[in-house]
Structure 1
Amino acid sequence: MTGFVTLERKRALITSGTKGAGAATVNLFRELGAKVLTTARSRPESMSEELFVAADLTTKEGCELVAQATHERLGGVDIIVHMLGGSSAPGGGFAALSDTEWNKELQLNLLPAVRLDRLLIPHLISQGSGTVIHVSSIQRQLPLPDATTAYAAAKAALSTYSKSLSKEVAPQGVRVVRVSPGWIETESSIELAKRLAKEAGTDVEGGKKIIMESLGGIPIGRPSKPSEIASLVAFLASDRAATITGTEYVIDGGTVPTV
């Protein structure tokens, strides 16, 4: 990867960069020569204070804080990677999703990208170049009705917003692309596999199979690794992908069964 793609002299903001695919992306971008600022609600002790901003991106104020830090610490930005996302909605289908739950999903999975783009993309337009990557999810196409309807709807909205934005800013030299992962083998997903395994009286591999079956199966037989998500994002952010904009890259091991 390092021999094919370089991000030398690029300035990047990567949200939610302390765990899972976000952390893998931060690490790879830095290996490839980028100066990276990342953000989460709290800073791990291992992460440099200079290139980290503690902020709650589900709030307008948190997004403003990160945008200001991007200008002050990086002197501007060339790449914006919106990794933030997730769901805490309860099971029980549509009836269990109150207005509060719907609002939480939108505030986490849609509005941080909208707000940060509004604050930072004018800088990309003014310099005539830049790349914005929105990390969506295959659940925008394959929602799980028991628990992820609101999450999936928010990611679908993010995807539609991303497509519209790409058409607006491409003439000004700014590329906008989407990455839609399937199941990623993160620390939290392994904990879920362990819990499901315990409930089913099986081992961790059995727990993983339960998750894969709930998704309708993963043809390659395993989830994606965080480093694999990071590699795709790095390529799309690089000059190697200079004519790629307005499209979506699915990385799911073949989970989505349709064209």
Structure 2
Amino acid sequence: MTEPFNFNHELSGKIALVTGGTKGTGKAIAERLLVAGAIVIVTARNQPENINSQLHFIAGDLSQAKETEKLVKKVLSRFGRLDILINTLGGSETPGGGFAVLSDEDWENTIQTNLLAPVRLDRGFLPQMLERKNGVIIHIASIQGRLPLFDSTLPYAAAKAGLVNYSKGLSKEVSSKGIRVLTVSPGWIMTSSANRMMERIADSSKITVEEATQSVMDALGGIPIGKPAQPEDIAEFVGFLVSPRAKYLTGTEYVIDGGTIPTI
């Protein structure tokens, strides 16, 4: 019988940064890299009370250029280098109602967080990766880059589409120099915040949480696999992509959506 693969030490000695790494998918990714033996830095605006003591937290609002510059300097001065960069930070806070209700500020804030923050971080950490001819950059995008929801998250969808395109272009520039660049585009993920949203929908609509979840899946056009992803599903795949087992992979977007996107 073949023994299961043991990834406990495959990232030993590697230094990784996970943005948005204190909750949801980012937290799951950070903890997955810890299991693989990496030294893991996480960043968010504020430090949560229940953060894993093995994670190295650095505060920063990465939607701001100066905050991003400070983060890069802190990481490199404290750890000397960065081997793995996971750009997980993202989200949408724009109002529903379609294009007419969206202001310039809505667009600018969303693009700062979902597109320009990763661009700035890449620019900050790539020089030392290129000098060593080694590194992995993962951009967490979204299936909304292909399947936009115009009523509520149009700026987010546009920013994530831009991130996918940028990621491909960057990979073509730096892959020959030893840096792998990949994109992961998840579908709906049942994070704790998504679960709370289902509870609110259920309460306001007088239905069960299961019925609320099904209504959201129906709004997405259905999820053939029958349920949303868990943060750990995304984290497990990211853990593989940054490992030596994926050394020939670069420049590709990987969709993890349970079959939500209906086309090839």
Specify the TM-score bucket, using the shorter chain as the normaliser: over 0.9
* Secondary structure in 1 matching 2:61: coil
Shift of 1:70: 1.4
Shift of 1:41: 0.4
For the residues of structure 2 that align with 1:231 and 1:75, how far apart are their CA atoms?
27
Partner of 1:75: 80
Q: Deviations over 1:137-176 (max 9, x none)?
A: 0001111110111100000011111000000001110000
For the residues of structure 1 that align with 2:55 and 2:25, how far apart are their CA atoms?
21
For the residues of structure 1 that align with 2:120 and 2:55, how far apart are their CA atoms?
23
Partner of 1:142: 147
* Secondary structure in 1 matching 2:119: helix
Paired residues of 2:24 and 2:191 also in contact (CA < 8 A): yes
Shift of 1:73: 2.4
Shift of 1:199: 2.5
Shift of 1:4: 4.6
For the residues of structure 1 that align with 2:79 and 2:239, how far apart are their CA atoms?
19
For the residues of structure 2 that align with 1:42 and 1:183, how far apart are their CA atoms?
25
Q: Deviations over 1:167-210 (max 9, x none)?
A: 00011100000000000010111111112112322111111111
For the residues of structure 2 that align with 1:150 and 1:67, how far apart are their CA atoms?
27
The count of corresponding residues between Structure 1 and Structure 2 is 259
Q: Are the structure 2 counterparts of residues 36 and 49 from structure 1 closer, same or farther at C-alpha, using a change threshold of 3 Å?
A: closer
Code of the aligned partner of 2:151: D
Q: Deviations over 1:221-244 (max 9, x none)?
A: 100000111001110001100010
For the residues of structure 2 that align with 1:244 and 1:177, how far apart are their CA atoms?
8
Shift of 1:23: 0.5
**Alignment partner for residue 167 of structure 2, among 142, 159, 162?**
162
Normalised to the residue count of structure 1, the TM-score between the two structures is 0.97
Partner of 1:42: 46
Paired residues of 1:217 and 1:255 also in contact (CA < 8 A): yes
Partner of 1:19: 23
Q: Are the structure 2 counterparts of residues 226 and 2 from structure 1 closer, same or farther at C-alpha, using a change threshold of 3 Å?
A: farther
* Secondary structure in 2 matching 1:168: helix
Partner of 1:210: 215
Paired residues of 2:147 and 2:261 also in contact (CA < 8 A): yes
Work out whether 1:9 is the aligned partner of 2:19. Answer: no
Runs of 4+ in structure 1 displaced over 4 angstroms? Answer: none
Paired residues of 2:18 and 2:43 also in contact (CA < 8 A): yes
Code of the aligned partner of 1:210: S
* Secondary structure in 1 matching 2:182: strand
For the residues of structure 2 that align with 1:117 and 1:143, how far apart are their CA atoms?
25
Between 170-179 and 46-55, report the one with greater CA deviation: 46-55
Paired residues of 1:29 and 1:36 also in contact (CA < 8 A): yes
Paired residues of 1:51 and 1:73 also in contact (CA < 8 A): no
Partner of 1:232: 237
Shift of 1:2: 6.2
Counterparts of 1:104-183 in structure 2, within 5 Å, are 104-183=109-188
For the residues of structure 1 that align with 2:45 and 2:54, how far apart are their CA atoms?
13
Work out whether 1:66 is the aligned partner of 2:79. Answer: no
Shift of 1:72: 2.0
* Secondary structure in 1 matching 2:94: coil
Q: Which runs of 5+ in 2 are unaligned?
A: none
Paired residues of 2:41 and 2:56 also in contact (CA < 8 A): yes
Shift of 1:52: 0.7
Q: Which runs of 5+ in 1 are unaligned?
A: none
Shift of 1:40: 0.2
**Alignment partner for residue 52 of structure 1, among 54, 57, 61?**
57
Paired residues of 1:223 and 1:253 also in contact (CA < 8 A): yes
Paired residues of 1:2 and 1:32 also in contact (CA < 8 A): no
Shift of 1:46: 3.1
Q: Are the structure 2 counterparts of residues 205 and 130 from structure 1 closer, same or farther at C-alpha, using a change threshold of 3 Å?
A: same
**Alignment partner for residue 87 of structure 1, among 92, 102, 106?**
92
Percent identity, aligned pairs only? 49
